[in-house]
């Protein structure tokens, strides 16, 4: 039976965790330990009492999340913060969080997998932060209409703002919040972005700068990488794994 250390070491190495400078509170890596052994792997997008309860009920003792617990830590362990920690400890469930490294990974990252969903291949890095690519672009022969149709077949809610070229030659991908990606489209020579969500102000900017913007949901665009990492980890260590959905509509 693999140890907790075995799984954490593999995840850290595979995602190149230490290479990324993330948000100050992201605290990527092992956020809460268990007794040291792992029998079942879980994957979820967000840390939270409900996904933790679901994971424990499913027998998960190593849970991978994209959005971890510690964005605004240090925090007193009272109320919901206490419930989160108590649920994991009571269920002997370790928590491993991985944010930007799992967005930017060229094989199992959210953005590479978003491109692959559309039958496209990651072409070049996009949205470089401290020397590491968070997003990517892909060359495309899809018309704007075909791109929208494909996305609508994959995601329950797609907001399409179509002010750019009718047949974009290249598409940029930025899972989750795409606000920081908008200023980088023109320098990259791209007018089409697939993302999760944007601020309201970018509707006018899309009109002014002639952009195609496709918003598919923050949560929905970030279910991919945690599942890919969990599946890969489960195969390597011969363990079962399960995705823990939360039906987040945002």
- pLDDT attached to residue 70: 82
- Phi then psi for 114, rounded to 5 degrees? -60, -45
Residue 73 has pLDDT above 80, yes or no: no
Contact (CB, 8 A) for 106 and 167: no
pLDDT score of 24 more than 90: no
Mean pLDDT score across all residues of the chain: 96
Rounded to two decimals, what is the model's pTM? 0.96
Domains in the chain, CATH or no CATH each? 4-98 (3.40.1390.30), 103-221 (3.40.1390.30)
pLDDT band at 60 (very low <50, low <70, confident <90, very high): very high
- Helix, strand, coil tally for the chain in percent (to 5): 40, 25, 35
Three-state DSSP class for 164? coil
């Amino acid at each position: 039976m693999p140890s907790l250390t075995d799984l954490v070491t593999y995840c850290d190495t595979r995602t190149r965790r230490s290479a990324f400078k993330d948000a100050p509170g992201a605290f990527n890596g092992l956020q809460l330990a268990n007794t040291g052994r792992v029998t079942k792997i879980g994957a979820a997008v967000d840390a939270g009492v409900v996904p933790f309860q679901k994971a424990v009920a499913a027998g998960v003792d190593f849970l991978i999340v994209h959005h971890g617990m510690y964005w605004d830590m240090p925090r007193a362990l009272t109320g919901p913060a206490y419930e989160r920690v108590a649920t994991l400890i009571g269920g002997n469930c370790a928590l491993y969080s991985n944010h930007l490294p799992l967005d930017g990974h060229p094989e199992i990252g959210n953005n590479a997998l978003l491109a692959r969903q559309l039958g496209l291949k990651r072409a070049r890095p996009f949205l470089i932060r401290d020397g590491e690519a968070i997003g990517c672009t892909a060359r495309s022969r899809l018309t704007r209409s075909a791109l929208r149709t494909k996305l609508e077949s994959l995601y329950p809610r797609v907001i399409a703002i179509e002010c750019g070229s009718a047949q974009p030659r290249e598409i940029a991908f930025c899972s989750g919040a795409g606000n920081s990606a908008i200023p980088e489209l023109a320098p990259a020579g791209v007018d089409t972005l697939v993302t999760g969500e944007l601020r309201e102000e970018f509707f006018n900017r899309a009109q002014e700068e002639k952009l195609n913007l496709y918003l598919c949901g923050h949560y929905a665009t970030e279910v991919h990488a945690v599942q890919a990492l969990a599946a890969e980890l489960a195969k390597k260590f011969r363990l079962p794994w399960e995705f823990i959905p939360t039906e987040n509509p945002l």
